[in-house]
Amino acid sequence: MPASLIAIVLLAALLHAGWNLLVRSGGDRALDALLVAVSASAVSAVAVAFLPAPARASWPYVAASAAIHAVYFGLLAEAYREGDFGPSYTIMRGTAPLLVAAAAAAGAGPDPLSPRTALGALTIAAGVLGMALLARRPGALPRRALAFALANAGVIAAYTLVDGAGVRRSGHAVAYTGWVFVLDAVPLVALAAATRGRAVLAHARRSWRRGLAGGLFTLGAYALVLWAMTRAPVAGVAALRETSVVFGTALATWRLREPFGAGRIAAAAVVALGVALLGR
């Protein structure tokens, strides 16, 4: 993978860690996740008005991805409500590339899995998971939080495979991303309105800046990743994106005072090794 492409995906990883930290540090994580999704949807609705429509062959993928993303935001909020940001985030992001690589090895992904991509992806995933497990402290990741995180890893793998195939059929990675985000907020808003009522509007008035920042971060991060998937193997890009865990762990240590520790330092080195393998 070219160094320039690696740098772009690493930037996306940093943006991704940033918006997840915003959700985790808020008072109502379910509504914060909703605000992020709605903000990304609103910005996307403006953007797609000035962009060409994705090719017709990609629209089933847009619809499927939007539905999967709605599930993702819901599980994300539950994982952060039940456990610490660091372990929950690392389990979600570290398990997903293993599932994507396994799908590629089984022929279910849009690309064949080369030995070099497999080695880099597995090394990154090992470091990411090690970052969670080696530095885990009592009570940081209760069973319910672990269950939500693992379930969301499967959801992440699903939308990664769907979007990896869909964006290549779209003819325009940014337009494809925009339409996914326009649509995925619809079921989330409907569910929140039915279950939380006026609390949704009250929270939006208080925290709209947090939601807008998170929406811009997630939109930018995902557009960069999908663009990268049109130029490199999906499994490799998916694994490289999960270096966001290194950024997330550092941010959680800085902002949330979650421990870093020697175990996470060693795991971060393993992640760096995996990045180097992908870039060879």
Q: How are the residues of the chain apportioned to helix, strand and coil, as percentages rounded to the nearest 5?
A: 85, 0, 15
Residue 155 has pLDDT above 70, yes or no: yes
Of 191 and 152, the structure prediction assigns the larger pLDDT to 152
Q: Model's pTM, two decimal places? A: 0.80
Q: Are 117 and 235 in contact (CB under 8 A)?
A: yes
pLDDT single digits (tens) 226-274: 999 998 888 888 878 877 777 777 776 766 666 666 666 677 677 777 7
| Burial environment of residue 94 by CB neighbours within 10 A (0 to 12, 13 to 18, 19 or more) | buried
Q: Would you state the structure tokens that stand for residue 191, as one six-digit string? A: 């569910």
Q: What is the pLDDT of residue 1?
A: 73
Distance CA 55, CA 68 (A): 20
